[in-house]
Amino acid sequence: MNQLLRAYKNVSPIVFESAWESPSNIAFVKYWGKKGHQIPANPSLSMSLKECCTKTKTIFSPSNELQVNLKLEGDTNPKFAQKIRNYLASLESELPWIMNLNVSIETSNTFPHGAGIASSASGLSAFALTFADYLKALNPNDDHSLFFKRASHLARLASGSACRSVFGGFSTWGASDLPEATDLYASPLEVHPDLRFLHDTVLVVNGTEKNISSTDGHGRMSDHFFAEARFSQAKVHFTICVQALKAGDIESVGKILESEALSLHAMMLTSPSAYTLLKPNTLLAIEAIWRFRRETKLPLYFTLDAGPNLHLIYPGHEKKQIELFIHHTLSPMCEKILYDVTGDGPKPC
């Protein structure tokens, strides 16, 4: 049994309410492909955001059976409720009392649907934090110094990238040469003071729901001809990116950002069942960014998650000229623009 949950196996459900706000994150080194149950095939690294968050209130109470009710933006959402129920049921072997729990959830996002912001990361980390709070109430005499590691572990079991949203600033997840690195939960990463605060401006090129889910995308890596080469590349990129962040080397970080984004989408294009999530304006914007950087030498870089929308990463001291370029050149290529920065992490609300 996982030591993070051992102290909570033989408790009894009580009535308890918890509310947390948790951020989304943007991966600099991508997690794409897994082994076992939510174990990453390579280590990943991300930056938590400030403005793009999910606020979640959960009421736990005893019940004759496991029941989950969920409201998203005020509307009942049976699909997400079933996802949470399946997740909680998967914990039965470690927390047998969980099958006698009624869970009522109210959740809302500070960002629009389809904006290229990972709502699963923010939403499931927020729920995991409320659940970790509940465990703390069930056994108040336990050592709670591991609270955020426990919350990150619980978030990982729900959605891999969610485990990194439990920490502010930069965090890593997955076995590596870093101290305390593990596949079980994320760990915060201290970076150079010059890079502790970066801008993330999201170009929403297309806000419609993508036709291939991230879960399906991860699954297609299992028989991908280039999978092992991709995992090896990500491990090398991870080491370089960690070193560059600690050294304050934005240029090296930027090169990894863009290589990781393009490698992710190359895996989609070359998978046995090939597909693409890129749109024409995604490519036009990338070409414009490269041209701008060649002409100005300014440190503006992009990355992409599993979708068509670009995240533009740049330091604050170059904000004025870069945001003029975004407004005049890139804004006609997208539906909307969201401005965000490095955040401090989740908080009770």
What is the spatial distance between Cα 28 and Cα 278, in angstroms, rounded to a whole number?
A: 18
Q: Can you tell me whether residue 243 is helix, strand or coil?
A: helix
How much is the pLDDT for 207? 86
Flag whether pLDDT at 1 surpasses 60: no
How much is the pLDDT for 241? 98
The whole-angstrom distance between residue 236's C-alpha and the CA centroid of its chain comes to: 21
Flag whether pLDDT at 131 surpasses 90: yes
**Would you place residue 9 in the very low, low, confident or very high pLDDT band (cuts 50, 70, 90)?**
very high
Place of tokens 């939510």: 38
- pTM of the full predicted structure? 0.95
Architecture of domain 6-191: 2-Layer Sandwich (3.30)
How much is the pLDDT for 114? 66
pLDDT tens-digit map of 278-332: 999 999 999 999 999 999 999 999 999 999 999 999 999 999 999 999 999 999 9
Mean pLDDT of the chain: 95
Determine the CATH number of domain 193-341. 3.30.70.890
> What string of H, E and C letters represents the secondary structure of 307-345?
CCCEEEEEEHHHHHHHHHHHHHHHHHHCCEEEEEEECCC
pLDDT tens-digit map of 40-80: 999 999 999 999 999 999 999 999 999 999 999 999 999 99
User: Crossing angle for the helix pair 78-89 and 147-158, nearest 10 degrees?
Assistant: 120
How much is the pLDDT for 226? 96
**Whole-Å CA distances, 323 to 44, 300, 319, 330, 349:** 28, 10, 6, 10, 32
- Strand duo 39-40 + 34-35: pairing: antiparallel
Domain with CATH 3.30.70.890 in the chain: 193-341
How much is the pLDDT for 215? 77
How much is the pLDDT for 186? 98
User: Crossing angle for the helix pair 119-138 and 147-158, nearest 10 degrees?
Assistant: 130
Query: 116: phi > 0 → left, psi -120 to 50 → alpha, else beta; which?
Result: left
How much is the pLDDT for 217? 82
How much is the pLDDT for 51? 96
Domain with CATH 3.30.230.10 in the chain: 6-191
**E strand or H helix that includes residue 286:** helix 280-296
- Higher pLDDT among residues 270 and 111, named by residue: 270
**Whole-Å CA distances, 182 to 156, 282, 289, 331:** 12, 34, 35, 40
What is the spatial distance between Cα 78 and Cα 60, in angstroms, rounded to a whole number?
A: 18
How much is the pLDDT for 249? 98
**Would you place residue 220 in the very low, low, confident or very high pLDDT band (cuts 50, 70, 90)?**
confident
Q: What is the mean pLDDT of residues 198-205?
A: 96
pLDDT tens-digit map of 161-179: 999 999 999 999 999 999 9
What is the spatial distance between Cα 165 and Cα 39, in angstroms, rounded to a whole number?
A: 17
**Cα-Cα-Cα-Cα dihedral of 246, 22, 17, 3, to 10°?**
-40
